[in-house]
Chains A and B, each alone.
Chain A
Amino acid sequence: MNREFDKQIDAILRDLGQSGIDERQPLDGMHPEPDEFAAFSAAKMSKAAREAFILHLSDCSRCRKILAGQTLAVLENENELSPAAPSRSNGSLRRWMQIIPRPALALTAILLIFAGLFAVAILRNSEKTEVSSLKEFPEPASGLLTSEPVSSSPEESNTTATRSNTGLKQEAANSTRGVPLGQPKDITKAAAEKTEAAANSAPPQTPMLRSGAPSDSAARQSAEQVVRAESATRAAPAPPPDSRPKEDLAGQVSNSEQTADAALLKSAISKNKSRADKQVVENPRASNAAGSVNRFGGKIFELKKGIWTDSDYRTGEVLTLIKRESAGFRQLDLQLRATVEAIGTPIIVKWKDKAFRID
């Protein structure tokens, strides 16, 4: 028959046990000899002798101690010959766990809950660390995100040239090198601070996108790009007119036009976001297989030599070179600009039978 421990009786008996009553021994002084203990341990006692021995033990604390010491020393000796006396605290804990199963279970549950909370906390912390490390990267050059002064004139930046694809990089480098290092930037200090604040408000571009290294998951890239583009849209109307570069101020769209433009851009991104997500879900293996492939707005971009290249683009096609910060960029189709914002620069996009290289 299976009985549970009687807690009330258990508590009363424990109290009795702690009263020190086991420190006394019978007056008669007739204790079993060591021979009897050895025979009892070896189960070599007759039934009558065994009963007499147990009767004595049940009323003699001294002999109980001898028997316990004798038997338990054998077991300890089998495990290890330890000079240290056994710890009673461990025994007490084990006893506690044995006799009170419910608290023992509760304690186990507590430990599990605590371990779970700890694991969640660690995971959250690691995610935060990842995001904060990403924020430490410099913000990518973006006409929508920053008001960084463009050293070259609009004419230079908007140069539409018919060049071969191989000469593009050198050309772009030359156009940047054309600015003297010592030339003061055409921007006020306050404007620079505001620009920096606006840039910080936007989520950073992933290192993969900047460095051109393959990512681990195209789905994650797509999601990050969408978020980044949305943030860029939010950040776009932030800079005041006086903080923008002078050459940008001239002949550019008004603030209201920019706001409307940004709203349209946002809606275009949100439309494309669901489509991109759907594509990623539909073909996750394709995304994962090629870490340097990105999708947006039904287009597939491959990272070739550090440039996001539209899969529709064929080598040797005529390219139109556009600076991202330039007015020419802002005059491009909204969806094209959204694509550029989402994928990042440098990028080669095939758009309405024309190929654009945007840096």
Chain B
Amino acid sequence: MDITLDKFRSVIDETIERRFATAADRHSITLADVCDSVCAAIKKHFVNSKTPPEAAEIRHFIEELSADDLCLVIACRRGSESAWDELFRLFQPVVKAIAYRVASNIDAAEELAGSVWGELFGIRSDANDRATGKLAYYSGRGSLGSWLRAVTAQLAIDLHRENSRFVQFAEDRELESAAEISLTQQTIRPTNRNPEEAVLELRAASDVSSAVIAAIKLLEAKDRLILKLYYFDGLTLKEIGQVLDFHEATASRRLARIQAEIRSSTERILQSEFGWNDSEIRNYLAETAERIGPGLEKIVGGILISIIVQGLNLLSVQ
């Protein structure tokens, strides 16, 4: 939707002046410079709206912008050396921190941090002979630090994918392939059962995997995100809570609920699509879990017994 901002000009100017005057002054830029950037951000933000924005929405949007960060970036885009110095001084630790986190080693992290600054500054120039780097895309929504982290993480992942010449697949294909991979892994496992039992077991495991994958697709987007952050991306409940802005205990409760939903959906799918009955579902779920899981309780029990025996031996020796 093409948004015409002329009718909101007075609202925009008034809000910008109130919100940005101090910051613009500090970074030696004009409010006209700020207005250009803000208007671009407004257009970008409301471009996907089904209805035209109201004046109140636009005012709210402008008031939510990070004024100081946006003015600093505008000053950088205008080629201010002091602004670049300030940007580098303030955000070099931020970029390094995220680079060290996402890179595999220190050298790669340093290289990544350097690349980020190159991308931010830009190697091309516009019609006014100004460098057009990624910094031009900062709209002021959210803090500059957070934006820089996202840029760095994005760059790191893209570089990694470029380097590893990764073949891209659709996400839908991912889950299906997971079932295939799981199946392949199972076939190469040595077994001393008779072939008929092995085939049946393999078939059952495949059915369970397919049903679980289908159950994941049935989840709500947010639940699916939590599940994937936990099981596929390896985040802890605490980290999930931090990423999605809720408490660890909430994450735990939600994950338990998601598991219950997955179980329910899986059982339903196994019955309706694969023709399993209740006892088959119960037995095969337990068997599959036992085969996959490490039997932690048995391990812990074994450790407990061995420690007690060792302790008693120690006492008897003394």
Q: Measuring CB to CB, which residues of chain A are less than 8 angstroms from any residue of chain B?
A: 1-17, 19-27, 29, 31, 33-35, 37-44, 49, 51, 54-55, 57-62, 64-77, 81-86, 88, 91-92, 94-96, 98, 100, 102-103, 106-107, 109-110, 113-114, 117-118, 120-121, 124-125, 128
Contact = CB atoms under 8 A, between A and B. Distances in A.
B253 A16 contact: no
A22 B225 contact: no
B174 to A, nearest CB: 4
A86 B300 contact: no
Contact of A58 (B208, B222, B314): B222
Contact of B146 (A3, A20, A41, A81): A41
B178 A16 contact: yes
B158 to A, nearest CB: 8
A71 B101 CA distance: 11
B54 interface: no
A58 B97 contact: no
Given A25-B168, A72-B239, A12 B288 contact: yes
A64 B229 CA distance: 7
B303 to A, nearest CB: 6
A42 B151 contact: no
Interface string B222-253: 10110111011111111100110100000011
B97 A73 contact: yes
A24 B173 contact: yes
B225 A57 contact: yes
B147 A35 contact: yes
B178 A70 contact: no
B137 A64 contact: no
B146 A125 contact: no
Given A73-B149, A110-B307, A6 B171 contact: no
B209 A12 contact: yes
A11 B289 contact: yes
Given A16-B182, A37-B142, 14 more contacts: A1-B257, A5-B255, A19-B181, A22-B228, A58-B222, A66-B157, A68-B243, A73-B97, A77-B93, A92-B234, A95-B236, A98-B237, A98-B252, A121-B315
A64 B228 contact: yes
Contact of A60 (B145, B171, B301): B171
Nearest to B57: A46
A281 to B, nearest CB: 30
A74 B243 CA distance: 10
B183 to A, nearest CB: 10
A110 B171 contact: no
B141 A38 contact: yes
A15 B307 contact: no
A41 B170 CA distance: 26
Contact of B253 (A3, A17, A66, A91): A3
24 contacts: A5-B255, A11-B290, A12-B289, A13-B227, A14-B292, A19-B182, A27-B168, A34-B148, A35-B137, A38-B144, A54-B222, A59-B224, A60-B171, A61-B228, A62-B157, A67-B243, A68-B235, A69-B98, A73-B153, A106-B297, A106-B304, A107-B303, A113-B308, A118-B311
B86 interface: no
B100 A84 contact: yes
A11 B161 CA distance: 29
Which residue, of A4, A12, A76, has the highest number of chain B Cβ atoms within 10 A? A12
Nearest to A6: B259
B67 to A, nearest CB: 13
A11 B259 CA distance: 11
Nearest to A100: B296
Interface stretch (B6-14, B21-29, B123-131, B260-268): B260-268
A60 B48 CA distance: 21
Nearest to A22: B232
Given A12-B209, A23-B166, A110-B304, A65 B233 contact: yes
Contacts of B147: 34-35, 37-38
Given A61-B233, A69-B156, A12 B98 contact: no
Contacts of B285: 8-9, 12
